[in-house]
Structure formats: structure tokens, C-alpha cells
DNA sequence: ACGTATATTATGTGCAGACATATTAAATTC
DNA sequence: GAATTTAATATGTCTGCACATAATATACGT
């Protein structure tokens, strides 16, 4: 570790974060190894312990460090970085490209979900579930076909929502922000969806599966199928 | 706004964050509108202003709030949520599935990048660029074919790295963590890549394009093509 | 030697106070 | 009325101190 390059002259938490980041880059702290503790780093940088804590917390939030009380702080073997989604994803995407966005409700029904959906949402058996199919367009051209299941036991209010006017995604984003979930990307052939997306059944399409939870309660499972050649862009 | 439900009895920043989250859910604060300022919220919750600041900062980092000095804090019209990637993504994925991971360097050369790559990396003209093709396997089965361009002007040290032993991704994650970038998912037919991925040329495959930057300098542009049926999973 | 209890320690949090900074509002000048 | 200057304000940061908490180390008992 290079001690001579301390940042004594400038003691903002950002400068400490940057200095620590540089050391991580240079492998001064090997992946998996402990870094010096906060009190020692505060001495080295000539600032308060709370300031070091603030800097290290940012690095931990960004996925570079693992922090444990008493155990100390380690450089992660594999950084866990985050990518940003803007939600509502589809409307924002379409409008950002300068196109006119339109949403069309295709089907809405209370329905018993098939086993694959029950498994995704970890349903026990008695839950009421809403099944919604919709099409999202850009300049009157099909952009994304959505097949979505919403657990009414978790978000009963959506039952009173006019889903002709408001897409379930927009409503959920506003009224049922998830606490955690998963998102999967896969490539499939359009198949039966080609009639919605107006393409060839053999065309490759990007599909996104999303499951969201509110604490321990499942909110929704959505399968979004995009038109061929569509690219889903995330910011890193 | 519901003032009677203050959290006077429990004043951790987490409880304040949760209380504010509940209000956002309930639309007590409309999207785009200002919420009460920190001093007022501190009075309401019966805690220090710094504690409110800590809670709101978390909500801002999570994408629900926009904060500006003097201007105040607004509920975002569209939340910007984050998804988590574990990097090195491929090795972690393969090993998490219980398979044996293997990396094979296919090609490595200094080369003039084509216009499409120059554009992705915003290259001016004189930059030295390394071109690396590699195959990543799971239990001896091709899992991902990677075609990657690395800007040597940004990360010259990689030139001395034995890329037979170490995948460029692993090296870059360790030595050149990006400050920002973009990631795109798309569905394509395998085409010429089918000979690497050992599949039919018409098979749909998931492709991920990633461009990363170190401040204003481009690091790398990678096109990763996954074997058919592969699902890229992110945590929300 | 092993299991349990106690002590220690590194990070996490809350607070009060002061100061910094970016932004908006108000006052002043032309 | 428009432009410029000054004042006010809401968030951002730093500090020192105290306390909390989770985890590891040490001590004690069998």
C-alpha cells in the first residue's frame, strides 16, 4: 500500500472515495482482503472517521466493497455493479426516440394462472390474480407486447383501475413500487406473438421477464416481447 | 398529506425512509411535486435534520426522489431503479449453475477498428486498439462468444497481460473499473457465430453490447453472444 | 479439547452545530 | 420593464461525541 500518497490536502468524502478507488484499481488491496479500518484511514487522511465511513459506504453501495461490523471492510472478489432502468420503461423509450407512444389493452381477465406463473410468483393456491395483455406502439407500429399477471391480494386497488386508459406498468410503478425482484433477458422466435408484433413467426425477438415483490408479497410477473431488432438499453 | 401518522416513536433513518416511501406510494406527494423540506420533516418525525437527510438520500439513490440544493426535493415523475450485475458476469453465472467454467482465447490482435466500433467508442483516429475474440464454456459446452475491442490508450497495461490465461473481462474488472457506460440487449439470429456457439445459424441468440468509460476515456466495447435459450438474469 | 460466556472491536447510527454550495427570491439599479 | 446585485434558503458536508450492533477474540468452565 502506498502511504506517501495520502490526500491530506483535500479531505472531502469524494476525494477519499476516489483515492480508495485508485488503490483498489492498483490492487494495493487485493480482492477478498481486508482494507485498513476506518479509524486508521481517518488518521491517514487527516479527517473524521465519519467522513471515511461516508466514502467507503459509497464504494460499498457501488459494489466494490463488502462491509461488516467488527469484521471490517473487504474488497469484493467480484464487484457488483448496478445498471439503471428508467421506468415506465416503454413510454420513456418510445418518446425519447421521438415517436408517438400508444398503449392498447387487449385482454383483461381474472384467471387461474398456469403452473409456470404460479412458480414464478410463488403462489400457494388461493390468491386472486389478474391477467392483462396489452400492446404498446410507437407511431402506430407495434413496439412491445405485454402479457402480465398481477397478484390482487398484494395490490387489490388495481382492480378498480381503468386499464383501457392506464397501462398496468404505469399504475404499478406509481402505486406499488417493488422492494426487490428479478429481470431476465432472453432471445426467442416470435411464434404466436408475431400476429401482435406484425413480424414473421421466425423472427428473433427480445423478451424480458420481470417479477417484482413488495417485501414478501409477489406483485406481478410480466413477459414483455419486443419487436424484432429492438434494443433494450441500460445505463451503467 | 397525512400528518397524524408521524413516526415519532421510532426515529431511525430506515423508518423515516419507509414512512416516506409509503407516502410516495399513496401519492401523498404527487410525482413532480415538492415534498416538505428536511427541517420540517425533522420536526414532524422528531429527529435530527441529518437523519432525515440520510433517509431521503437513500430514496434519491434508489431513484424515487430528485434533490437539489435550495430547490428542494421532488418525487420523480418516473422512478429510475437499478438492477444489479455481478461481474465477472460469465464466470459467476456458469459456476453458480454448478457447471465448470472455461475460457478460451480465440484471437488477439492489434487492429484498426471498423467505423461502427469507432463510433461506439467515440474514437478520434489515432488510438491504439486491441481486438480480442474469446469463447467461454460451461462444462465444455460453448456458453458465450465474445468479440471485444479495448482502447490501449486508456488501459495500456493490458498489452502485457497473458490473455490466454486471463480473460480480458476479468482483467478489466480488476484493473479498469468503469465510471460509467451503457449496456444493450438485443435478439439476433446466430449467423456466423453458430460455428462458435455450436448451434443452427437461424437460432435466436441473446446479444449483449457493452461500452465502458473511465471518466472521459473509452475503455472497451464488447459484443457478447450467448448460446441459444440463455437467460441473462439481473436482480432488482 | 470442546463448549459457553464474556470482552473487545470495527462498522452503523443519531445528534447538534457549524459551514458550504447551488438555487431561487427579493431588492436595487438603469 | 429588464438586467444586475444581494439576500435568503434548502440541501450537502464535516466534525466530535456518544451509543448501538454485529462479529470476532479471549477467557472461563467442564
| Residue appearing with cell numbers 453465472 | B93
Average pLDDT over residues B88-96: 75
Q: Residue-wise over B86-102: b if at least 16 C-beta within 10 A, else e?
A: bbbbbbbbbeeeeeebb
Average pLDDT over residues A56-68: 93
Indicate whether B34 and B127 sit together in one domain.
no
| pLDDT for the residue numbered B236 | 83
Indicate whether B53 and B162 sit together in one domain.
no
Indicate whether B150 and B53 sit together in one domain.
no
- Reported as a pLDDT band with limits 50, 70 and 90, residue A31 is confident
A50 touches strand C (CB under 7 A): yes
Q: Where are the beta strands (DSSP E) in A21-176?
A: 65-68, 72-75, 80-86, 101-110, 129-138, 141-151
CA A71 → C1' D28, Å? 24
| Inter-residue contact A140 to A147 (CB < 8 Å) | no
CB-CB under 8 Å, A188 with B204: yes
User: Within an 8 Å CB–CB cutoff, is residue B199 touching chain A?
Assistant: no
Percent over 70 (pLDDT), chain B: 94
- Reported as a pLDDT band with limits 50, 70 and 90, residue B6 is very low
Strand partners, B131: B109, B149
Mean pLDDT of the residues in chain A: 89
User: What is the domain-level CATH number for residue B179?
Assistant: 3.40.1410.10
Residue B1 lies in a domain: no
- Runs of H (alpha helix) within B62-161: 89-96, 115-121
Instruction: Find the domain containing A50 and state its range.
Output: 13-75
Interface mutation vs chain A, best among B87, B180, B187, B234, most A CBs within 10 Å:
B187
| Inter-residue contact A59 to A21 (CB < 8 Å) | yes
Average pLDDT over residues A119-146: 93
* Chain A residues inside the 8 Å CB shell of B154: none
Task: State how many domains chain A has.
Answer: 2
Residue A20 lies in a domain: yes
| Residue appearing with cell numbers 409477489 | A218
Mean pLDDT of the residues in chain B: 89
pLDDT tens-digit map of B12-41: 999 999 999 999 988 899 888 999 999 999
Residue B185 has pLDDT above 60, yes or no: yes
User: Within an 8 Å CB–CB cutoff, is residue A191 touching chain B?
Assistant: no
| pLDDT for the residue numbered A4 | 31
Residue A82 lies in a domain: no
Q: Lowest-confidence range among A74-78, B49-53, B142-146?
A: A74-78
- Reported as a pLDDT band with limits 50, 70 and 90, residue B220 is very high
Q: Lowest-confidence range among B2-6, B178-182, B194-198?
A: B2-6
- Runs of H (alpha helix) within B11-142: 13-25, 38-45, 49-61, 89-96, 115-121
Indicate whether B217 and B109 sit together in one domain.
yes
Average pLDDT over residues B2-11: 42
Residue A35 lies in a domain: yes
CB-CB under 8 Å, A207 with B204: no
Residues 57-96 (B) near nucleic chain C, CB < 7 A:
68-71
- Reported as a pLDDT band with limits 50, 70 and 90, residue A125 is confident
User: Within an 8 Å CB–CB cutoff, is residue B157 touching chain A?
Assistant: no
User: What is the domain-level CATH number for residue B58?
Assistant: 1.10.10.10
Residue B138 lies in a domain: yes
Strand C nucleotides within a 7 Å radius of protein CB atoms: 8-17, 20-24
- Reported as a pLDDT band with limits 50, 70 and 90, residue A10 is low
Residue B4 has pLDDT above 60, yes or no: no
Interface mutation vs chain B, best among A204, A212, A217, A223, most B CBs within 10 Å:
A204
Indicate whether A200 and A128 sit together in one domain.
yes
Indicate whether A118 and A141 sit together in one domain.
yes
Residues near B62 by beta carbon (within 8 Å), at least 6 away in sequence: B79, B81, B82
* Chain B residues inside the 8 Å CB shell of A235: 180-183
Indicate whether B40 and B133 sit together in one domain.
no
Indicate whether B102 and B212 sit together in one domain.
yes
CA B71 → C1' C27, Å? 20
- Reported as a pLDDT band with limits 50, 70 and 90, residue B89 is low
Residue A47 lies in a domain: yes
Q: Which of B87, B124, B130, B86 is nearest to B217 (CA)?
A: B124
Indicate whether A126 and A210 sit together in one domain.
yes
pLDDT tens-digit map of A94-122: 887 888 999 999 999 988 899 999 999 99
Average pLDDT over residues A127-153: 95
Indicate whether B151 and B214 sit together in one domain.
yes
B 55-84 residues with CB < 8 A to A: 61, 63-64, 78-84
Indicate whether B178 and B200 sit together in one domain.
yes
Indicate whether B120 and B180 sit together in one domain.
yes
Residue A97 lies in a domain: yes
Residue A165 lies in a domain: yes
Nearest to B78 among A88, A206, A229 (CB): A88
Q: Where are the beta strands (DSSP E) in B111-196?
A: 129-138, 141-151, 180-189
| Residue appearing with cell numbers 469484521 | A71
Amino acid at each position: 500500500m502506498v502511504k506517501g500518497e495520502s490526500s491530506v490536502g483535500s479531505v472531502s468524502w469524494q476525494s477519499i472515495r476516489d483515492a480508495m478507488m485508485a488503490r483498489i484499481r492498483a490492487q494495493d488491496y487485493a480482492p477478498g482482503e481486508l482494507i485498513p479500518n476506518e479509524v486508521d484511514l481517518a488518521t491517514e487522511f487527516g479527517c473524521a472517521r465519519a467522513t471515511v465511513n461516508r466514502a467507503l459506504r459509497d464504494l460499498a453501495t457501488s459494489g466494490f466493497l463488502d462491509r461488516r461490523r467488527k469484521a471490517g471492510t473487504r474488497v469484493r472478489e467480484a464487484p457488483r455493479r448496478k445498471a439503471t432502468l428508467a421506468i415506465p420503461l416503454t413510454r420513456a423509450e418510445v418518446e425519447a426516440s421521438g415517436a408517438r407512444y400508444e398503449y392498447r389493452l387487449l385482454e383483461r381477465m381474472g384467471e387461474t394462472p398456469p403452473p409456470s406463473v404460479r412458480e414464478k410468483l410463488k403462489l400457494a393456491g388461493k390468491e386472486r390474480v389478474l391477467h392483462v395483455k396489452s400492446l404498446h406502439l410507437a407511431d402506430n407500429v407495434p413496439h412491445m407486447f405485454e402479457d402480465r399477471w398481477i397478484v390482487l391480494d398484494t395490490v387489490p386497488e388495481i382492480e378498480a383501475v381503468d386499464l383501457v386508459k392506464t397501462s398496468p406498468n404505469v399504475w404499478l410503478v406509481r402505486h406499488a413500487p417493488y422492494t426487490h425482484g428479478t429481470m431476465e433477458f432472453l432471445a426467442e422466435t416470435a411464434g404466436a406473438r408475431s400476429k401482435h408484433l406484425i413480424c414473421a413467426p421466425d423472427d428473433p425477438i427480445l423478451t424480458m421477464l420481470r417479477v417484482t415483490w413488495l417485501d414478501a408479497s409477489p406483485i406481478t410477473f410480466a413477459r414483455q416481447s419486443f419487436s424484432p431488432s429492438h434494443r433494450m438499453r441500460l445505463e451503467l
